[in-house]
Amino acid sequence: MEVKQKVLCFHGFGTNSEMLSYQLRQFKKEFKDIDFITLNGPIPLNRNVIMDESIAKILENQNIYSWLNFLQFKNNDIDSIFSPALEEVVKILKEQGPFFGVMGFSQGSAIAVRLAAKIAAQEIDLGYDLKCFIFVSAQANHIPESQQFLCRIPSLHLIGFNDFVVDRSMGLVVQFLNPYVIYHNQGHKVPTLTYEQVKDLKRFFENPFQDWSKTVYVPKLAKL
């Protein structure tokens, strides 16, 4: 029996693991040797959440979650927002690992970014090395200079030109030393991949440690 490589996946704000599993249906079909394992965020939400009407209909009778707990924000300590989710994620990565990689979509990418920063700073040791980070519509907030990091783990960035967080997604790329960027013309979503993009991703998954930084032009963002 073939053992699949595992990728732990974090959903967007106000949705859940089942929704992300549905959003990843093309990935599951095209990359059959990878098990995309979706996880619920630790913060339950009530139904008073603004979201796309089509998504709201799908989630009508389901529990929804967040990864970040802003009610815990104290004394300008950013870690307090991430702590519950990050602790749960690290526990799963250790107890159910090894994992091939970690994927974050929208708000879920914030947890993936935090994990990458902690690993880069040697503040978290999983007991094994992740092979990649995957960011989709990455909603990573501006990272102050004092908190910037350079992560050596290969990263894959799916960035939509029509995504309202496109600037944040592109800004995140420079925090990784070996990024592979795939642009698409869709919005804030897990994109529908073209035949060429599927081939590109298969190359990445087969050997994430080759030098991807030279395969894409990463535009330098102007300072505001």
Q: What's the angle, vertex CA 157, arms to CA 122 and CA 117, rounded to 5?
A: 15
For residue 9, list its beta bridge partners. Answer: 38, 103
Contact 109, 137 (CB under 8 A): yes
Whether 213 shows a pLDDT value over 70: the answer reads: no
CB-based contacts of 220: which residues, under 8 Å, 6+ apart?
Answer: none
User: How much is the pLDDT for 39?
Assistant: 95
Percentage, residues of the chain above pLDDT 90: 50
CB-based contacts of 83: which residues, under 8 Å, 6+ apart?
Answer: 69, 72
CB-based contacts of 222: which residues, under 8 Å, 6+ apart?
Answer: none
* pTM of the complete model: 0.87
Whether 103 shows a pLDDT value over 60: the answer reads: yes
Query: Which residue has better confidence, 201 or 57?
Result: 201
Which structure tokens are listed for 3? 């053992």
Whether 13 shows a pLDDT value over 80: the answer reads: yes
Residue with tokens 């704000």, as numbered in its chain: 13
| pLDDT bucket at 220, cuts 50 / 70 / 90 | very low
Convert the pLDDT of each residue in 155-203 to its tens digit: 999 999 898 998 889 888 888 988 999 988 899 999 999 998 999 899 9
Residue with tokens 């970690």, as numbered in its chain: 102
Q: What's the angle, vertex CA 106, arms to CA 223 and CA 51, rounded to 5?
A: 115
Whether 53 shows a pLDDT value over 70: the answer reads: no
Whether 28 shows a pLDDT value over 60: the answer reads: yes
Question: What are the phi and psi torsion angles at 132 (to 5°)?
Answer: -165, 160
Percentage, residues of the chain above pLDDT 70: 80
Type of residue numbered 64: I
User: How much is the pLDDT for 219?
Assistant: 44
CB-based contacts of 46: which residues, under 8 Å, 6+ apart?
Answer: none
